[in-house]
Amino acid sequence: MPKETFHLLSFDVEEYFQIEAASTRITPADWPTWKKRLSPCIDRILELLDRYKASATFFVLGWIARHEPDLIRRIIAAGHEIASHGMTHRMINRMTPQEFRAELTESRKILEDLSGQSIRGFRAPTFSITRQSAWALDILAETGFSYDSSIFPIRHDRYGIPDAPRFAYLASGPGGGTILEIPPLTFRALGINWPVGGGGYLRLLPARAAVLGLKQARRQGHVAMLYLHPWELDADQPTLPLSGLAQWRHRVGLKHTGKKLDFLLKRFKFTSVQSVLPRLSEGRTKFRINEG
């Protein structure tokens, strides 16, 4: 396989108060009472992408698209891809298959109506496709999604399938449905997959950790996927009612996320999934994910 000259960049478009760690204290019924802060974060991201002639995939929460439709129009106008992040940011293992299917359908319709694009990609809130919720892969394949980016090949207290492949592959669900899976970036060392591909890991670790992962992927001839949340560029966001550990996880490194993103955009070429989807889909190995 030739060494690729590009990597993939993605953003999970949700408000700061919609994170999983706050879900027991701030419910969807409470969301309208919290101040929206996405707009300036999206503008900053779009400006950075334009400066470096990069494109990205924006996995948008259906609730956001319904309540802040202008954000979607601005992302589309800037030439980027819109994909689905579900409707209400519930982890898939907390939904029934019927509820998941209903959320997929609702969010997809909202996003397609606003964007004028066919919505081909999906990322589960909190990377919550695990062995316990592997049935979601069958539903994604059945409903015509082209790719998923929900399976983190690591060990974590909320998510992860540590023995899953590290780079793009065909994920097969317990019912036989198959879909292209694009995992977040990890760095392989000492027999362990270390998460370096974005989010809290990018905020906590030096940007050089992501560089190591990106260079390792390139040496091995693979495309890597980075991910961030727009709220991670907002160091002045209100404090959420979280436990001490959750508060630290949520706020660590917020002041430096924008600089780290700028650092990476200077050094690597990034693009959206849709721009290279046929190439990504070719010759991939299949990995079956049975329910655990």
- Count of domains in the chain? 1
1 within some domain: no
59 within some domain: yes
Q: What is the enclosing helix (H) or strand (E) of 114?
A: helix 97-115
* 3-state secondary structure at position 29: coil
Structural domain span for residue 156: 7-288
Question: Identity (one letter) of the amino acid at 118?
Answer: S
217 within some domain: yes
214 within some domain: yes
Strand 57-60, strand 7-13: pairing: parallel
**Residue 210 to residue 1: CA distance in whole angstroms:** 22
The pLDDT assigned to 183 comes to 98
Q: Pick the closest to residue 19 from 101, 102, 90 (CA basis).
A: 90
The pLDDT assigned to 292 comes to 67
Strand 178-181, strand 169-172: pairing: antiparallel
- 243 token code pair: 């436990």
The pLDDT assigned to 1 comes to 40
Residue 18 phi, psi dihedral angles, 5° rounding: -100, 10
Going residue by residue through the chain, which has 292 residues, state the pLDDT in tens, using 9 for 90 and above.
445 679 999 999 999 999 999 999 999 999 999 999 999 999 999 999 999 999 999 999 999 999 999 999 999 999 999 999 999 999 999 999 999 999 999 999 999 999 998 999 999 999 999 999 999 999 999 999 999 999 999 988 789 999 999 999 999 999 999 999 999 999 999 999 999 999 999 999 999 999 999 999 999 999 999 999 999 999 999 999 999 999 999 999 999 999 999 999 999 999 999 999 999 998 899 999 987 6
CATH value at residue 117: 3.20.20.370
User: Where does 153-205 have alpha helices with state H?
Assistant: 199-204
The pLDDT assigned to 290 comes to 85
The pLDDT assigned to 251 comes to 97
- 102 token code pair: 């209903």
* 3-state secondary structure at position 162: coil
- Classify burial at 238, counting beta carbons within 10 Å of its beta carbon; exposed 0-12, middle 13-18, buried 19 or more: exposed
